[in-house]
Each structure stands twice: as structure tokens, then as C-alpha cells.
Structure 1
Amino acid sequence: NVNKANAPDDISFFVLKNCSQQIVEPLARTFSNSIRLGKVPAQWKYVNVVPIFKKGEQSEVENYRPISL
């Protein structure tokens, strides 16, 4: 949905959807090189993890699950 909030990298979904044909080749090259070399860019190793409440007592850690944004 292009009306949702931006991803953590601040690239809007509208831009990604409308520019997909132009960015697919550079992204594919980047992913292929990463796999071939066995390395990933340092930025790819950072995630934004948010605890989401499942059920039960909110004061217990076991009742939350991690979601990576």
C-alpha cells in the first residue's frame, strides 16, 4: 500500500512502486555480488526490532514476540 508510512530507510513505497523497473537491475547486481563474495553491506545488518504483545499478562516478557521492521 503506497499510502502507508515510509520504511526505516525513508524511501516511500510510492517511489519504490513507480521506479521498480529502473531500480531492479542495480539491486539484482548488488544482491548477486553480495552472494558471490559472501559479504553483506554493514547497513543490511541493522534492524529495527519492536516487541509486539501476544496474549496474557503484559508484564511478562514471554508474552511478546519480536517484529523486525
Structure 2
Amino acid sequence: MVSDLLHHLDTHKSMGLDGIYPRVLKELVEVLIKPLSIMYQQSWLPGDVPVDWKLANVMPIYKKGQKEDLENYRLTSVLEKFMEQIILSAVMWNIQDNQVIMDL
């Protein structure tokens, strides 16, 4: 899963609050797959999120639209977004596998 996320990463996006540019992650995909997988697994199993994902120096990054509108800024961490995708995929797989939601 981490490999898929890294390979499909949009390299035109700005770096997140973690200071990591998506392009760097994508270019180092083969080196990062194992350490990131271990990091996410160690976070997933006990249900603990790294402290750095909870605390951040908030620096809004402008996206588009009117600069006065706070909705046009983002505050993200690339590594945190990966963890969110992993959790979402696991939940969706569990829902589908256990037929929690039936077709109407």
C-alpha cells in the first residue's frame, strides 16, 4: 500500500508542514517503502500517532481562490496523509470483506 501511495503521489504539490516535498518521496520510493511501512505499522498496531503529527508549526500554504478566505489554505503533512489513506483503505476493505454495507 505504501508503495502504491508513493508511486501515485502528485509531485506538483507543495511540501507539507513536515518539510517533505512530495517529489522527494516519489524519487526515493524504493528506499522509503520499507521504513515508511514499518513506521505506519508501528503506529497502526497500538493505535498511537507520532507526536510530530499532533504538533506542528502552523504555516498556512495558499492553494487558490481569494486569499482572504481561510478555506483556500491548507495545513497538511504528507506522511500524515499517507497514514490517513492507509486507515481509509483498511476500513473500506473491512467493510467490503465483511459485507457491513449491503447493496440496496
TM-score by length of 1: 0.57
Identity of counterpart residues, as a percentage?
25
Structure number with the bigger relative contact order (C-alpha 8 A, sep ≥ 6) is: 2
Max Rg structure: 1
Q: How does 1:8-27 map to 2 (within 5 A)?
A: 8-27=17-36
Partner Cα distance (1:8, 1:33) in 2: 22
Partner Cα distance (2:38, 2:12) in 1: 29
| Structure 2 residue ranges without an equivalent (≥5) | 1-9, 61-69, 77-104
Cα deviation for residue 5 of structure 1 reads 3.0
TM-score by length of 2: 0.42
| Structure 1 residue ranges without an equivalent (≥5) | 54-65
The size of the alignment, in residue pairs, is 57
